[in-house]
Structure formats: structure tokens, C-alpha cells
């Protein structure tokens, strides 16, 4: 088990440190709420979530200890103890079915820790994504209006984060459902960069085998054209433009386009400065 | 990658050949330090990130992305590494010498 497998747990621990708050309901008549109480009461499932979380953290600590011992004893990797996530799936899933946000995140983040089966119940994943989508939509609308509360739950779930979680669940959801969710994200989000990112993410997904498209490239290019034309002022639009350019101008057999740039010493140079030579052009980094 | 490219550049230093890097490291100082340590002698464009203007404009999304371009400016290979990259460069140099 690599350390990446532990990530969701630390993320959840971090979430627990933040008091759980629901976003203020704008439609609630102001007379009902007690003066000064801007936040809704905490989720009634919080107490049960805390219990599950306590048991889970304990199980994680035990597993970590067993894992360390196995490593020290030189046990082969294939015989290392497995993480406790599968035994906890049902308890978290029940809370996620009830719309509990951190439990929904747990279900979406458990990933490969659930073993070969991954998420055993696609309907829970669907519900959990819908729960996060609610926050992402609030985030998007509030950000556009300039009223995003940095302490709200929604503040942690921009559309970008929702799309990341959606991308991690495509195997469980299947191609058709995944596409429907990308489209929902595109149609319902309100900020231009969010819509553009939804389109770009959809195109990337269509380009994968999972999408089930027999001939995805024309569809992908159509989306890139749409992005380049109508969303050119967003980062996603710029990316789409680049991918289109690569497809149309940078194939083997084509004349290489010129490009001017600056080297590490600050000296400007053009690719065409090297014409007449054989060139290896290498996009790279040490990182 | 780097040691291999270094060998390629040294082997072909008297040939009509150029290796051009498009570097996407964030810190210029870190880059300079590592480049000096590893003996990167060839010209590198400075992009500052994988979302820098050149990789963005050319739709580069995986690293390394390597194009091999012949003396007439035609893209001949993409994605070759190691010995296959060396062989491709040798082939193009031979074509050039043969006047094709």
C-alpha cells in the first residue's frame, strides 16, 4: 500500500477540524431565525458521522501499525494487510444516502482503498456526487455574485473540485451517466470559466475508452472548436485552442510552425533560427 | 532523459543538429542549479510552468513531449525516446547528407 492510499483519510481528518456549517438559506423568512444566527443548525447526521469517523480513524491507526510491522518483518507486498475501507463502506454510504456532505466525500475519495470492487454501489456514488454538486453550484453562484462565504461548506467545493471528483468515478458511473453529469455541470454552472472547464473535462472524457465512443476524435474536436470560439478568454478555452492547434498543425508530416520565445538567459530566439538543421524539440522539466 | 540527451548532443556536436528544450520548471534558479549539475548545455526556452505560453499554444499535455524535425522543417517523429530517438536523428542527418 502506498502513501497515496492514505490521502483521503488525512483530508477527512482535516475536514473534521472545521466546524460543519450548512450554507445560509436565502429563502428562509428572516423573522424565524434567532437574531444573529446566520447559519442553519448542523446536520442531524453529524453525531452519527462523528461516531463512524472515530471508529474509522481507530481502524486506520491499527492498520497503519500492522502495515509498519509487516514492512519491518519483510513481509511481501502482496501479503500486506489491506486498508479497512471496505468494512466501513456501508456505514458511510448510509450517511451519504441521507445527504451528509463529509460522508459523501468519504465515499467519493475511498477509491482504490475499497479494493478491486471499488465503490460497491453506484447509486451511492451518484447521490454523493449530487450532494457535492449542490455545494459547487452554490459556490459558483456566490462567487459570481461576490458573496462567497469563505467559512461555508460550499467554499471548499468549487466546480473544479466537483469535476475532479466526477472524473474519479467514471468507472463506477459508466459512460452514459458520466456524460449526463458533465452536461448538467455545463448547463447549470453560471460562471463562464466553470462552463468552459465542464466542456473541456467532457471532451477529455469522451477521448477515453471509458466513454464508449467508437470514433471520439471528431466529437472531441467539435467541443474544442466550440471552446476556442466562445470561451477563448478562459484558461480552458486557451487549452482547447492549443489542443486544436496540435491536432491541425503539429502532426507528423506537417511543416512545423515557427515559434518565438525567450531562453533561460533572457535571450529571444525563434525555432526558425535553426532551420536547415535537424531539430529535437523537447518539452520537459526537472520539477 | 538528461544523461541520454547529453550523450546525443556531445556525439553530434559537429553535425547540423540542435536540441532545443522547452523547460517548464517553476523556479529559474532551481532549474539553473540542476541544469549545471547535470550538464545541460543546450538552449532551453523558459516557460515557468507546464501552463506556460508555448506548451499552452501547442497543446502539450504530457511530458516529455518530443518532436523530431528534419532540415526542411517537416515534423518527422513524435514521442520517440532513448535509442529510437538517436536512430531517428541519425536517419534524418543521413537523409540530409544524401541531399534528399
pLDDT at A265: 87
Residue A249: pLDDT band (50, 70, 90) is very high
Q: What is the pLDDT of residue A20?
A: 42
Crossing angle of the two packed helices A101-109 and A46-72, in degrees rounded to 10:
30
| Domains of chain B, residue spans | 2-92
pLDDT digits (tens, 9 = 90+) for A61-94: 999 999 999 999 999 999 999 999 999 999 999 9
Give the separation between CA A139 and CA A148, rounded to whole angstroms: 7
Q: Residue B16 region, left (φ>0) first, then alpha (ψ -120 to 50), else beta?
A: beta
pLDDT in tens, B10-42: 999 999 999 999 999 998 888 888 888 888 888
- Best of B58, B77, B81, B92 to disrupt the A interface (most A CBs within 10 Å) is B58
Rounded CA separation A87/A217 (Å): 41
Q: What is the rounded distance in angstroms from the CA atom of residue A40 to the CA atom of residue A279? A: 63
**B9 in reach of chain A (CB within 8 A):** no
- Specify the range with the lowest mean pLDDT, choosing from A26-30, A42-46, A62-66, A242-246: A26-30
Residues in chain B with CB shorter than 8 Å from the CB of A243 are 59, 61
CATH of domain B2-92: 3.40.30.10
Which region among A19-33, A230-244, A247-261, B6-20 has the lowest average model confidence (pLDDT)? Answer: A19-33
Q: Judge: A282–B20 Cβ closer than 8 Å, yes or no.
A: yes
Tell me how far apart the alpha carbons of residues B81 and B88 are, in angstroms, rounded to a whole number. Answer: 10
Residues 6+ apart with CB under 8 A from A195: A186, A189, A231
How sure is the predictor about A40, in pLDDT bands with cuts at 50, 70 and 90?
Answer: low
What is the pTM assigned to this prediction?
0.78
Q: What is the pLDDT of residue A286?
A: 85
Label residues A243-269 b or e (16+ Cβ within 10 Å = b).
Answer: bbbbeeebeeeeebeebebebbeeeee
Q: Which three cell numbers stand for residue A57?
A: 480513524
Using the beta-carbon criterion (under 8 Å), do A278 and B61 form an inter-chain contact? Answer: no
Tell whether ipTM is more than 0.90: yes
pLDDT digits (tens, 9 = 90+) for A183-220: 999 999 999 999 999 999 999 999 999 999 999 999 99
Grid coordinates representing B63?
A: 511530458
Measured between alpha carbons, how far is A95 from A2 in angstroms, rounded to an integer?
28
Mean pLDDT value across residues A248-258: 97
- Whether residues B16 and A250 touch (CB distance < 8 A) is answered with no
Q: Say whether A279 and B8 touch across the interface (CB within 8 A).
A: no
* Mean pLDDT, chain B, whole residue set: 92
pLDDT for residue A117: 66
Q: Do A264 and B23 touch (CB under 8 A)?
A: yes
Report pLDDT digits (tens) over A132-185: 999 999 999 999 999 999 999 999 999 999 999 999 999 999 999 999 999 999
For B59, which DSSP code?
Answer: T
| pLDDT band at A34; cut points 50, 70, 90 | very low
User: What are the chain B neighbours of A274 within 8 Å (beta carbons)?
Assistant: 18, 20
Query: For chain A, what percent of residues have pLDDT higher than 90?
Result: 78
Amino acid at each position: 500500500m502506498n502513501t497515496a492510499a492514505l490521502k483521503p483519510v488525512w483530508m477527512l481528518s482535516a475536514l473534521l477540524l472545521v466546524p460543519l456549517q450548512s450554507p445560509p438559506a436565502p429563502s428562509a423568512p428572516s423573522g424565524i431565525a434567532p437574531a444573529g444566527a446566520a447559519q442553519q443548525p448542523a446536520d442531524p447526521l453529524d453525531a452519527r458521522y462523528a461516531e463512524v469517523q472515530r471508529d474509522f480513524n481507530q481502524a486506520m491507526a491499527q492498520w497503519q501499525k500492522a502495515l509498519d510491522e509487516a514492512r519491518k518483518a519483510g513481509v511481501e507486498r502482496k501479503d500486506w494487510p489491506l486498508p479497512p475501507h471496505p468494512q466501513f463502506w456501508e456505514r458511510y454510504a448510509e450517511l451519504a444516502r441521507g445527504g451528509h456532505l463529509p460522508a459523501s466525500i468519504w465515499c467519493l475519495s475511498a477509491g482504490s482503498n475499497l479494493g478491486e470492487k471499488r465503490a460497491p454501489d453506484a447509486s451511492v456514488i451518484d447521490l454523493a456526487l449530487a450532494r457535492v454538486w449542490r455545494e459547487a453550484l452554490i459556490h459558483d453562484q456566490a462567487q459570481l455574485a461576490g458573496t462567497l462565504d469563505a467559512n461555508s461548506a460550499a467554499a471548499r467545493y468549487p466546480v473544479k473540485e466537483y469535476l475532479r471528483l466526477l472524473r474519479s468515478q467514471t468507472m463506477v458511473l459508466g459512460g452514459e451517466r458520466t456524460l449526463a453529469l458533465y452536461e448538467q455541470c455545463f448547463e447549470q454552472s453560471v460562471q463562464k470559466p466553470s462552463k468552459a472547464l465542464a466542456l473541456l473535462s467532457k471532451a477529455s472524457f469522451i477521448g477515453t475508452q471509458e466513454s464508449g465512443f467508437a470514433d471520439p476524435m471528431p466529437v472531441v474536436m467539435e467541443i474544442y472548436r466550440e471552446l476556442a470560439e466562445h470561451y477563448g478568454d478562459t484558461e480552458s478555452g486557451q487549452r482547447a485552442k492549443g489542443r486544436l492547434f496540435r491536432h491541425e498543425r503539429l502532426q507528423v508530416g506537417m511543416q512545423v510552425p515557427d515559434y518565438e520565445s525567450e531562453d533561460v538567459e533572457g535571450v529571444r530566439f525563434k525555432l526558425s533560427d535553426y532551420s536547415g538543421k535537424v531539430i529535437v524539440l523537447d518539452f520537459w522539466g526537472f520539477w | 532523459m538528461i544523461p541520454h540527451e547529453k550523450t546525443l548532443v556531445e556525439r553530434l556536436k559537429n553535425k547540423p543538429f540542435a536540441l532545443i528544450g522547452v523547460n517548464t520548471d517553476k523556479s529559474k534558479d532551481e532549474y539553473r542549479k540542476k541544469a549545471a549539475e547535470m550538464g545541460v548545455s543546450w538552449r532551453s526556452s523558459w516557460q515557468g510552468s507546464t501552463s506556460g505560453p508555448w506548451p499552452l499554444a501547442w497543446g502539450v499535455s504530457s511530458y516529455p513531449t518530443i518532436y523530431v524535425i528534419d532540415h526542411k522543417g517537416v515534423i518527422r517523429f513524435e514521442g520517440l525516446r532513448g535509442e529510437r530517438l538517436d536512430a531517428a536523428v541519425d536517419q534524418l542527418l543521413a537523409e540530409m547528407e544524401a541531399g534528399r
